[in-house]
Amino acid sequence: MNTERRPIPPGRVSTIRGHWQRPALTAATLGALVLAFAGLVLPRDVADALQRAALTVVIATPLLRIVWLCVRWTNERDWRFLAAGLALVAVVGAGAVAAMGR
């Protein structure tokens, strides 16, 4: 069992508290659940659109969290991690372009 004591890390504490993220993520979870369920039980004419919408919410939300973090890190002037966030967005974009090219 690791019981080594570490010193208090230097630097400012991040202001990220999740005040906006928490309700937004709760809404995304409930929205995806309702859309997916409705997509399974409603007639097919509307079901297709609802199923696509549910999956879009599920896929897009984690990526929107990266964008949100980039905005917060810009406000905090944390350029190193802003660069990491943008690099991650670039990797996802490059993957999409590569998949379209195949």
Partner 1 sequence: MGSLPYRRRNHQSRDGPRPPPAGHSVWNHQRHINKTHSIDSAFEVGYAVISMQTALYVLLAFATAAIGTLGGLGGAILLVPVLVVTGTSAAIAAPLGLVTVAAGSISAAPRQLFERSVNHRIGITTEVVATTAAVTGALVSNAIGDRVLTYVLAATALTAAVAGGRRRPTRNPPDPACVPSDVGERVGSLSGAYPVGGGIAPYRVVRLPAGLSLMALAGLIAGLAGAPGGFIKTPATSEVMHVPTKVAAATTTFTVGITASAALIVFALQGRIDTRLGSAVVVGALLGGQAGALLQSRLSPSLVRRVLSVLLVAVAVVLVVQA
Query: With left for phi above 0 and alpha for psi between -120 and 50, is residue 8 left, alpha or beta?
Result: beta
74 touches partner 1 by CB under 8 A: no
Mark 17-56 with x for binding to partner 1 (rule: CB under 8 A) and - for no binding. Answer: xx--xxx-xx-xx--xx-xxx-xx--xx--xx-xxx-xx-
- Residue 36 near residue 51 (C-beta atoms within 8 A): yes
CB-count exposure of residue 81 (10 Å: 0-12, 13-18, 19+) = middle
Q: What is the DSSP letter of 102?
A: -
Enumerate binding residues for partner 1 (CB under 8 A): 1-3, 5-14, 16-18, 21-23, 25-26, 28-29, 32-33, 35-37, 39-40, 43-44, 47-48, 50-52, 54-55, 58-63, 65-66, 69, 76, 78, 80-81, 84-85, 87-88, 91-92, 94-96, 98-100, 102
